Amino acid sequence: MSNLRTLVFFATPAHDCSYLPDRQATTMFVDPRAEVDKRLYSQLTALGFRRSGSHYYRPHCESCNACVPVRLRVEDFHPDRSQRRVLKKNSDLTCRMVRACFTERYYELYAHYIEERHADGDMYPPSREQFTSFLVEGATDSWFIEILDGEKLVGLAAVDRLNEGLSAIYTVFDPAYEHRSLGTFAVLWQVEEARRQELPYLYLGYWIAQCRKMNYKTRFRPIEALRDGHWQVMDPH
């Protein structure tokens, strides 16, 4: 089994940044041949890495440090007024955690979400292979949170369980439920799930100040940012 001292890393050639226009990005990947267990994955996440399928990566741009890893300190979090409204608005929904897997039901929701919300992004057009390689392959202690309106699947959140927290991977929802703020609702549910499991952190991936789509992350406080190798409470202003 691999460990931090034996891992080999590779950097991609410069490519167009997915988040900031007119920027070039470089990504550092863990050698895909490495055996990454839950313990090592947890250590990598604490160092700012993310998982996409069976790949573990983090930004490694030469002249840009806009991508900031962030996590929520669960014990100290209290929903603000807007988040309490989201919880109340969705009090009629139910959630359940199931092992990450492929089903047509999950894929149809995923495809509809990508087609309606991200037709201008690099995940379009969706495919079954894309869904599987992104959300199912490489799963260690990986789960899907089904968000249900009665028997109807209206949202799906992918989450990994780490030694010291949960890692929010991706959330999709039925665009017809956009007014429900299901992205925020999914994060709030994961906060409570981390508390139930007595896990101290919820990792929320990367925050980019110039990217409006990521603004929601700083509404969860106290949010911590990884800067210069240290996690510290972040002032988003």
Domain ranges of the chain: 9-66, 70-233
Q: 70-233: CATH homologous superfamily?
A: Gcn5-related N-acetyltransferase (GNAT) (3.40.630.30)
Q: pTM of the full predicted structure?
A: 0.95
Beta carbons within 10 angstroms of residue 5's beta carbon: 5
Q: pLDDT tens string for the chain (237 positions)?
A: 788 999 999 999 999 998 888 899 999 999 999 999 999 999 999 999 999 999 999 999 988 999 999 999 999 999 999 999 999 999 999 999 999 999 999 999 999 999 999 887 788 999 999 999 999 998 789 999 999 999 999 999 999 999 999 999 999 999 999 999 999 999 999 999 999 999 999 999 999 998 888 888 999 999 999 999 999 998 755
